[in-house]
Amino acid sequence: MSKIEKVLASGKTHTTLSSAGTTSRGHNGSVDIQLSSPGSTQPAHVFTAIQPHPTAEQLFSGAWSACFIAAVGLAAKQLNVELPADHAVDIEVDLGQTGQAYFLQARLTLRVPGLSEDTANALVHAADSICPYSKAIKGNIDVALNVLTA
């Protein structure tokens, strides 16, 4: 894979779970998405865009992080890990250029306060192997997986 020499645009989202469903928010307030899972009894998708309009990178990071946080829940069940109530997923997607070619790259951070570093790393890697978005981009873009346990 080619490394990006110059970042042209970035999209960042912070995704959480609550009894109302999954919520992804952009770092600058330009995207606020409430999502539901297929077959869920939760309300249909709600999308609120506030000026400036969200970028494609923000929309992609929001959809990916919503899928990823669900995969974290599945991975936690498989690994018998109790997730902290305030766990979250942050994804940053960059559009960049190397020479005349354009590429994407991403940084994904799983926030699991109170879990050990080893457990958090096991969760993020297990979720990465479950999440369909992660599978779709595997080998196509550079992705850094990170954890925050504090």
pLDDT in tens, 42-54: 544 444 444 456 7
- Across 57-76, average pLDDT: 92
How many DSSP H helices and E strands does the chain contain? 3, 7
Place of tokens 């000026």: 51
Q: In this predicted structure, what is the pLDDT of residue 95?
A: 93
Cβ(119)–Cβ(148) under 8 Å? no
Q: In this predicted structure, what is the pLDDT of residue 52?
A: 58
As a whole number of angstroms, the distance between CA 55 and CA 116 comes to 35
Residues of the chain with CATH 3.30.300.20: 54-148
Place 3 in a pLDDT band, splitting at 50, 70 and 90: confident
Q: Which of 107, 75, 76 is nearest to 93 (CA)?
A: 107
Average pLDDT score, the chain = 83
pLDDT higher than 80, residue 4: yes
Least confident of 46-50, 125-129, 132-136: 46-50
pLDDT higher than 90, residue 24: no
Count other Cβ atoms within 10 Å, centred on residue 78. 13
As a whole number of angstroms, the distance between CA 150 and CA 120 comes to 11
Q: In this predicted structure, what is the pLDDT of residue 49?
A: 47
**Fold assignment, 54-148:** GMP Synthetase; Chain A, domain 3 (3.30.300)
Residue ranges in 6-116 assigned as alpha helix (H): 56-78
As a whole number of angstroms, the distance between CA 55 and CA 28 comes to 11
